[in-house]
Amino acid sequence: MFDYSADKARESVKRSLERLQLDRVDILQVHDVDAAPNLDIVLNETIPVLEEYVQAGKARFIGVTAYDVDVLKECAERGKGRIQVVLNYARYTLLDNTLLRYMKDFQKMGVGVVCAAAHSLGLLRNAGPHASHPGSQEILAVAKRGAEICQQRNVELGKLAMYYTMQLDGAATFLIGIPNRKLLRINLDAIFDGLTSHEQEVLQYLRENVFTKSYSWGSTLSTAKLLK
């Protein structure tokens, strides 16, 4: 499913620049390094190709992305000085705070952290996730309970989730997917206006009674099946 060879990396960057109709970009990212057979191929084949583009002035920084924070940290450590950005998704949310484990390590390495998927690929919203979400039945049930409570109290779970994730200290930026204009407005409200006192109360209740521990759905490969 994933090809991290030098030839494929070169082809992918060329195609991406053509599609974007750009001569240069800020960041070139190696997607889902936790799906690679091993990190050797990422560091010895993929990254050198991206370094060629940086040296040619076609990119400023090199990044890697992963769901698995342990793999992400190992890749950043082994590629220290060569990797400037890491992107981790769905690991600092109301459901999962695993990213906190290595935030200080990334900061010490001088690596910027992009915290993505505050809504855990649709889990944390009143409408619920896509039918093929990779989460276990336990995770789906917890998220559903949270959504039901929000609906009963006339609050959008997605707004609470966005606000919560945005409180992560030390992240360089945040990245989310928004399927419609309604949720776009809700997320912008969370970012610029924060939460009302009622929403704050609901968020506190959820954290104390529903989202009481971290949940993981396994691996980036299970996520890939959802996104196919």
pLDDT digits (tens, 9 = 90+) for 101-130: 999 999 999 999 999 999 999 999 999 888
From the list 107, 105, 129, the residue with the least C-alpha distance to 117 is: 129
- Output the CA–CA distances (angstroms, integers) from residue 26 to 54, 79, 116, in the order listed: 9, 19, 18
**pLDDT surpassing 90 at residue 221:** no
17: which 2 tokens? 């620049």
* Contact indicator for 161, 125 with CB cutoff of 8 Å: yes
State pLDDT tens for residues 48-105. Answer: 999 999 999 999 999 999 999 999 999 999 999 999 999 999 999 999 999 999 999 9
From the list 97, 100, 5, the residue with the least C-alpha distance to 45 is: 5
Give CA torsion, residues 112, 191, 210, 153, to 10 deg: -170
What is the distance in angstroms between the CA of the first residue and the CA of the last residue of the chain?
10
Q: What is residue 65's three-state secondary structure?
A: strand
Burial string for 183-205 (b: 16+ CB within 10 Å, else e) reads beebbebbeeeebeeebeebbee
**pLDDT surpassing 50 at residue 222:** no
What is this structure's pTM? 0.90
The residue assigned the tokens 């800020």 is 26
From the list 79, 56, 66, the residue with the least C-alpha distance to 36 is: 66
Residue 50 CB contacts under 8 Å (≥ 6 apart), including other chains: 9, 13, 28, 30, 59, 62
* Contact indicator for 87, 64 with CB cutoff of 8 Å: yes
Q: What is the mean pLDDT of residues 35-58?
A: 97
pLDDT at res. 180: 85
State pLDDT tens for residues 3-31. Answer: 999 999 999 999 999 999 999 999 999 99
**pLDDT surpassing 50 at residue 227:** no
